[in-house]
């Protein structure tokens, strides 16, 4: 009873705060001239024209093994924390209940944006023929539904017990046997392995859902994502904005009061704003296509799309092609407003 009343109070607080937060964001956007819809396309063309594929390829080849050896995305404290939770991934009413519920948003977000680029080839399996990397897959909560959509999905995670949980759960569904696989490793290890065995650009899409806020080095993360995804391929990220509101609701309320997630799950200092994340991805050869706010209702246990990115948000970026054709890129590049309209339809 207390939880429900407090949850309604929190939602009321969000409702009152959201208008002021949105106003501040819009005001800042107006002063800086920033607009996701207008800027993404312009930046994509500008970056494509200024890129030098041969130089980028040689630099990437020479840096990838050194970077993976000297820098890591893994935070040992985070590994220990998730090690203790490795057996609880598939408890839909437990510590990961919010992640189970998030599939109602993130799975269509990934599917619809990929279908804007790749035409569905198989009825009932719209992602058939696509290869997806799920970074920080945990117990496979997102890996499995993407596999059921027909994609060939590799889930990776540095926590071996989580990978064991994922493999065990997937083994119960024979339909997943040929389309879902798991590997206990880091993104940088897989990236270095790909350089030696498979070559760069092996995946049509990379997914990192509720992951970047747990990483030790976001620069290495972005660098390795750019290495493993194909030119023209997609990167999908869901994470938490770095705002006062995200601290109040994402940590104080969610962890300490309502205990929606275990206490200590998040470190506010690791949160990142959409603008900061876009700059990071842009410097590693990506062009951000869309950013959409997400809101969790602790009363209903459901997620919904929102215009405000003050707390949670989803981002879709595309890796720039090595051989850009500016006129074609302008015509074929997916626009941020396309997905926004789709998600509210």
Q: Residues annotated in the binding site for Mg(2+), as ranges? A: 210, 213-214
> Residue positions in the annotated binding site?
106, 136, 157, 209-210, 213-214
> Residue positions in the annotated binding site for S-adenosyl-L-methionine?
106, 136, 157, 209
Contacts of range 301-307, beta carbons closer than 8 Å, 24 or more positions apart: 301/97, 301/98, 301/101, 302/101, 302/104, 303/98, 303/101, 303/102, 303/104, 303/105, 304/105, 305/105, 305/343, 305/344, 306/18, 307/22
**Distance between CA atoms of 151 and 173, rounded to whole angstroms?**
15
Task: Confirm if 229 and 319 have CB atoms less than 8 A apart.
Answer: yes
Pairing between β-strand 312-319 and β-strand 286-297 as defined by DSSP bridges: antiparallel
**Distance between CA atoms of 231 and 299, rounded to whole angstroms?**
42
**What does the block give as tokens for 99?**
């992640």
* Ramachandran angles phi, psi of 288, nearest 5°: -75, 130
- Cα–Cα nearest to 301, from 93, 80, 143: 93
Cβ-in-10-Å burial (0-12, 13-18, 19+) of 262 comes to: middle
Q: Which one-letter DSSP state was computed for residue 124?
A: T
- Cα–Cα nearest to 269, from 239, 289, 242: 242
Residue 319, helix vs strand vs coil = strand
**Distance between CA atoms of 175 and 25, rounded to whole angstroms?**
45
**Distance between CA atoms of 41 and 231, rounded to whole angstroms?**
17
Provide CB contacts within 8 A for 109, sequence distance 6+.
236, 292, 314, 316, 339, 343
Cβ-in-10-Å burial (0-12, 13-18, 19+) of 30 comes to: exposed
**What does the block give as tokens for 268?**
């506010």
């Amino acid at each position: 009873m207390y939880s429900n009343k407090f949850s309604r109070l929190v939602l009321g607080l969000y409702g009152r705060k959201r208008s002021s937060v949105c106003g501040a964001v819009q005001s800042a956007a107006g002063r800086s001239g920033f607009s996701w819809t207008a800027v993404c396309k312009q930046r994509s063309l500008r970056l494509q024209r200024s890129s030098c594929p041969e130089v980028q390829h040689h630099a990437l080849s020479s840096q990838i093994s050194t970077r993976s050896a000297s820098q890591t995305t893994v935070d040992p404290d985070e590994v220990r924390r998730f090690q203790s939770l490795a057996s609880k991934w598939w408890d839909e009413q437990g510590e990961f209940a919010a992640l189970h519920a998030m599939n109602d948003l993130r799975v269509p977000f990934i599917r619809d944006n990929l279908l804007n680029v790749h035409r569905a080839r198989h009825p009932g399996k719209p992602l058939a023929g696509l290869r997806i990397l799920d970074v920080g897959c945990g117990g496979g909560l997102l890996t499995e539904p993407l596999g059921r959509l027909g994609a060939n999905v590799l889930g990776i995670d540095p926590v071996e017990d989580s990978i064991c949980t994922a493999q065990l759960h997937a083994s119960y569904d024979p339909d997943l046997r040929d389309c879902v696989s798991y590997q206990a490793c880091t993104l940088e290890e897989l990236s270095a392995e790909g350089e030696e065995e498979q070559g760069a650009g092996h995946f049509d899409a990379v997914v990192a859902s509720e992951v970047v806020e747990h990483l030790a080095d976001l620069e290495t993360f972005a660098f390795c994502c750019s290495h493993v995804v194909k030119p023209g391929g997609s990167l999908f990220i869901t994470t938490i904005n770095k705002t006062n509101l995200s601290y109040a609701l994402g940590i104080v309320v969610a962890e300490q009061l309502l205990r929606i997630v275990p206490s200590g799950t998040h470190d506010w200092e690791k949160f990142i704003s959409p603008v900061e994340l876009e700059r990071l991805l842009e410097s590693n050869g990506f062009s951000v296509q869309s950013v959409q706010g997400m809101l969790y209702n602790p009363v209903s246990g459901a997620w919904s799309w929102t215009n405000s990115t003050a707390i949670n948000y989803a981002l879709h970026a595309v890796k720039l092609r090595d051989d850009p054709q500016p006129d074609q890129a302008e015509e074929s590049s997916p626009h941020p407003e396309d997905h926004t309209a789709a998600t509210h339809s």
